[in-house]
Amino acid sequence: MVPLFLDFPREEGGKEESEGRDREAEEEARDSLPFDREPGGHFFQSFHDIFKGDFMTNFASRSIWEWVMLDVLVYATDLQRGYHTLPSPRLYWSLDADVGVKLVAKAMSRDRFEEILRFLPSTDNQALNKDDKRAKIRPLMNHLNTKFAMAYPMDQHISLDEAMIEYFSRHGCKQCIRNKPVRFGFKAWCLNSPLGYLATFDVYQGTAFGLNRHYEERFGKGGDTLMILLEKLPSHIKDIPVRFYFDNYFTSLPLVNHLQEINYGAIGTIRDNRIPKTCPINSTNEMKKVPRGDTDVVVDNIHKILLVRWKDNAVVSMVSNISPVYPLESVSRWSAKDKKKISVSRPYLNGDYNRHMGVTDRMDQNINCYRISIRMKK
């Protein structure tokens, strides 16, 4: 692959002399990385460990180009973390004491950073998948998913939810979701641990790419998302007795049954139209007439699936293959009739679900603390 950066000028001379200068330049590039020599060296070393290896072969030969690219990835990521936000990226190289950052200025010059950032590639433009709207960053996404999985904290509780990546320009994958903190941008499906750690993700781009007809026919449009993300997880995570938590967009009885067959737990809210009409559980309209805190339970002893309807402020329908109804928990709710808070019984299943859902929102909160401050037209 032809390098996509600026060409280094070569002086006239023999092949040995030229190779000697290349080695000197490579050693100089290596020495320019401030690992363990400047404040924050451990942070730069962590990004060196993430981006070294096979991922670098997507750009150019494993020589000085690797270190040029590594410099950019390390320092661009450092600047974009957002913990040291400035109004303009150029201010990091300012000579003014109140805005200049010596760690950045010593690492590389401003012009070098801007020029390499301008041509920063992540794939070969001659081998793009035309059906993939995210083809230009697909190698980077795959590489990050691999690295995320390697550092997974080995927690058995995993939540599936959507996250919005803010974006205001034009793109075929752009979504508008109302009543969300981030309304415009890219929608990403995420598997997260209880602390908000991202195990794997994928960006939604409609039904044209990444669709598995077999999964969609069996589990619906939401269920096939979980199965596709599950396939991306490495074996050391799949071997864990994972418990998946998801909302009613993903939940279906065939999906919960399939997860039971492959030794995974599942808890999720479920829509009324996904419950068979032959199911003997009380209907939603019937449950609206009962006192708050009442519960109706149906058990499928063959498939080991539990279906629960609980009356709270509204009727909540849930399905699980791992979590029981008992012991009942006591929760506090405001009573408009009594003008005070009252104690309401709640199935253990519902409490278990509430304790492990919402972690994708926690990931968004963590990201927002270090929001990217450098924007570019890429």
Distance from chain centroid for Cα 277 = 36
On the question of a cis peptide bond just before residue 121, with omega within 30 degrees of 0, the verdict is no
- Are 311 and 347 in contact, with CB atoms under 8 Å apart? no
User: Which token pair is 78?
Assistant: 């450092």
Kindly tell me if the per-residue pLDDT of 199 is higher than 90: yes
Distance between CA atoms of residues 10 and 177, nearest Å: 53
Instruction: Give kind and range of the element (H or E) at residue 187.
Output: strand 184-192
Predicted confidence band of residue 204 (pLDDT cuts 50, 70, 90):
confident
Kindly tell me if the per-residue pLDDT of 316 is higher than 90: yes
- Average the pLDDT over 270-289 and give the result: 92
Report strand pairing: 265-269 vs 295-300. Answer: unpaired
- Are 193 and 152 in contact, with CB atoms under 8 Å apart? yes
User: Which token pair is 71?
Assistant: 């410099």
- Average the pLDDT over 325-349 and give the result: 91
- Are 362 and 195 in contact, with CB atoms under 8 Å apart? yes
Distance between CA atoms of residues 146 and 223, nearest Å: 23
- Average the pLDDT over 239-245 and give the result: 93
Model pLDDT, residue 252: 92
Distance from chain centroid for Cα 175 = 17
Predicted confidence band of residue 124 (pLDDT cuts 50, 70, 90):
confident
Instruction: Give kind and range of the element (H or E) at residue 255.
Output: helix 253-261
User: pLDDT of 69-105, one tens digit each?
Assistant: 555 544 454 554 467 777 877 888 889 888 887 877 7
Distance between CA atoms of residues 233 and 222, nearest Å: 18
Model pLDDT, residue 44: 44
- Average the pLDDT over 44-71 and give the result: 49
- Are 133 and 205 in contact, with CB atoms under 8 Å apart? yes
Total residue length of the chain: 378
Helices 41-51, 64-80: inter-axial angle, 10-degree rounding = 120
- Average the pLDDT over 158-177 and give the result: 84
User: String of b and e for 316-332 (b: at least 16 CB within 10 Å)?
Assistant: bbbbbbbbebeeeeeee
Kindly tell me if the per-residue pLDDT of 15 is higher than 50: no
What's the pTM? 0.77
Model pLDDT, residue 290: 92
- Are 244 and 259 in contact, with CB atoms under 8 Å apart? yes
**Greater pLDDT, 150 or 14:** 150
Model pLDDT, residue 107: 73
Kindly tell me if the per-residue pLDDT of 25 is higher than 50: no
Residue recorded with tokens 């303009």: 88
- Are 24 and 10 in contact, with CB atoms under 8 Å apart? no
Model pLDDT, residue 134: 80
Beta bridge partners of 346: 329
User: Which token pair is 359?
Assistant: 């972690």
Q: How far lies 163's CA from each of 169, 187, 200, in Å?
A: 18, 6, 12
Model pLDDT, residue 6: 33
